[in-house]
């Protein structure tokens, strides 16, 4: 693992993503125990958090920023297989090594827990174990939905689906309703979007321009996006306007 920089910690009760994190259901005594085994680490954009196959002595939660999960084939080809957004859990209790490369796409801050103490706490704390199960099942649902995105949706629907995922997660972290305009910064470059969606760079750029021209999104620069009507974006994604996955 590349060297990370220690980041200032904050109390669990003041954490901006606690309502979505693995500690969401913890009572004050359980939060105090987590406080005793946690530490913050920051990674710069492009830095490797962990390589696949490396021993992983920690688990943790993304507080701010975005990371990618990638897998490298024997011939050197690399495929992005997932995104880690704020409140997503990194690592797997009971497994000693990392299954995927975790790469910081933007500057990120993680709340990390030493793995063995976390496993011990999880074994005697139903709130943590139950929340981790909820998050795991949500991730499984998201993976199944993403198979539909990659296998059946058009290029326009793929772009709209990815934008809706980021918009809804941003709104959820900020505890904002998805009614009315949503404003967020897209954390991925168009090259990364193309890799993740199985499209060419030209197709990604063309479809984003088309969504902008049709008034589905508004853009300032290449990353700052406004969604005037979330329902319309969901329709463009081929999903119901009441939700979907990764919310």
Do 226 and 107 share a domain, yes or no?
no
Residue 160 sits in a domain of what CATH number?
1.10.10.10
User: How far is CA 81 from each of CA 84, 90, 94, 98, 147, rounded to the nearest angstrom?
Assistant: 10, 14, 22, 14, 11
Q: Is residue 242 part of a domain?
A: no
- Per-residue confidence (pLDDT) for residue 243, from 0 to 100: 44
Among residues 172, 32, 49, the alpha carbon closest in space to that of 100 is found at: 49
- Per-residue confidence (pLDDT) for residue 147, from 0 to 100: 83
Do 221 and 116 share a domain, yes or no?
no
Do 125 and 205 share a domain, yes or no?
no
Full pLDDT tens readout for the chain, 247 residues? 455 666 666 777 788 888 889 999 999 998 888 888 999 999 999 999 999 999 999 999 999 999 999 988 888 888 888 889 999 999 999 899 999 999 999 899 999 999 999 999 999 889 999 999 999 998 888 888 888 888 889 999 999 999 998 898 888 887 777 777 899 988 888 988 898 888 999 999 999 999 999 999 999 988 899 999 999 999 999 875 444 444 4
- Per-residue confidence (pLDDT) for residue 198, from 0 to 100: 87
Do 159 and 86 share a domain, yes or no?
no
Q: Is residue 246 part of a domain?
A: no
- Per-residue confidence (pLDDT) for residue 181, from 0 to 100: 87
Residue at token pair 């329709």: 235
- Per-residue confidence (pLDDT) for residue 4, from 0 to 100: 65
- Per-residue confidence (pLDDT) for residue 240, from 0 to 100: 57
Which residue range is the domain that position 128 belongs to? 5-138
Do 19 and 134 share a domain, yes or no?
yes
- Per-residue confidence (pLDDT) for residue 139, from 0 to 100: 87
Do 63 and 175 share a domain, yes or no?
no
- Per-residue confidence (pLDDT) for residue 5, from 0 to 100: 63
């Amino acid at each position: 693992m590349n060297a990370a920089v220690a980041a200032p910690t904050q109390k669990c009760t003041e954490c901006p993503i606690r309502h979505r994190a693995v500690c969401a259901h913890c009572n004050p005594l359980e939060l105090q125990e987590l406080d005793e085994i946690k530490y913050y680490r920051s990674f710069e954009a492009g830095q490797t958090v962990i390589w696949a196959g490396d021993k992983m002595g920690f688990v943790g939660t993304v507080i701010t920023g975005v990371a990618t999960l990638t897998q490298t084939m024997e011939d050197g080809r690399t495929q992005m297989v997932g995104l880690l957004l704020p409140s997503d859990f990194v690592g797997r209790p009971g497994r000693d090594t990392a299954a995927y490369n975790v790469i910081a796409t933007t500057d990120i801050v993680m709340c990390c827990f030493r793995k063995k103490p976390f496993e011990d706490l999880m074994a005697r704390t139903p709130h943590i174990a139950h929340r981790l199960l909820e998050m795991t099942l949500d991730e499984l649902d998201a993976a199944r939905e993403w198979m539909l995105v990659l296998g059946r949706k058009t290029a326009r629907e793929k772009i709209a689906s990815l934008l809706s995922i980021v918009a809804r997660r941003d709104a959820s972290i900020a505890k904002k309703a998805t009614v009315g305009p949503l404003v967020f910064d897209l954390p991925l470059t168009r090259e990364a979007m193309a890799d993740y969606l199985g499209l060419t760079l030209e197709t990604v750029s063309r479809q984003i321009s088309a969504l902008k021209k049709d008034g589905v999104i508004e853009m300032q620069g290449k990353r700052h996006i406004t969604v005037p009507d979330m329902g319309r974006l969901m329709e463009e994604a081929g999903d119901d306007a009441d939700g979907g996955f990764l919310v």
